[in-house]
């Protein structure tokens, strides 16, 4: 609305914006910049991921022999190469069923990493002094491709 009224003179920056736009619509919001925290998987979750998780859980609930085989092969202290290969194939099988549309935050997408706002690096979360572990990396803002929103991961 503001973009129409002020003819492109307004930019909006969202931090941890929710994934609510389909891929073909998100780029039309060129007045919005969406910044996602590096390593924050929650900012990459959309309804499509939840739908896919529901499909996978449903499959495991319905096919008890498949579920039991997964448990049998993954609860050993030492997984054999054959068990590992079976599990990779099982994951690929489940992954093929995870075909729900993944949504994105609006606008240009950026990843933010490093310390913010030049806060002291010698304090831990409780406020106690901790030893400095060397030079602190700079805060960086890097453009990211929409494909990172296809999978929920740390990076």
The domain ranges of the chain are 2-44+102-149, 47-96
Rounded Cα distance, 140 and 122, in Å: 20
For residue 104, the 8-state DSSP code is B
Q: Which two tokens stand for residue 11?
A: 């930019």
pLDDT tens-digit readout, 4-47:
777 777 888 899 889 988 877 755 677 888 998 887 888 889 99
SS3 assignment, position 89: helix
The closest alpha carbon to 26, from 142, 149, 113, 111, belongs to: 149
The closest alpha carbon to 18, from 55, 37, 46, belongs to: 46
pLDDT tens-digit readout, 104-123:
998 889 988 877 655 455 54
């Amino acid at each position: 609305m503001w973009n129409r009224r002020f003819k492109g003179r307004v930019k909006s920056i969202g931090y941890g914006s929710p994934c609510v736009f389909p891929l073909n619509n998100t780029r039309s919001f060129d007045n919005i910049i969406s910044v996602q925290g590096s390593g924050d998987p929650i900012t990459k979750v959309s309804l499509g991921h939840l739908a896919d998780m529901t499909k996978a859980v449903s499959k495991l609930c319905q096919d008890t022999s498949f579920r039991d085989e997964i448990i049998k092969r993954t609860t050993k202290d030492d997984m054999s190469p054959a068990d590992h290969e079976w599990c990779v194939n099982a994951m690929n099988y489940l992954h093929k069923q995870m075909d729900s549309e993944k949504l994105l935050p609006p606008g240009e997408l950026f990843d933010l990493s490093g310390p913010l706002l030049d806060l002291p690096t010698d304090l831990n979360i409780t406020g106690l002094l901790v030893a400095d572990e060397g030079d602190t990396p700079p805060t960086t803002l890097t453009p990211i491709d929409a494909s990172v929103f296809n999978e929920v991961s740390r990076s």
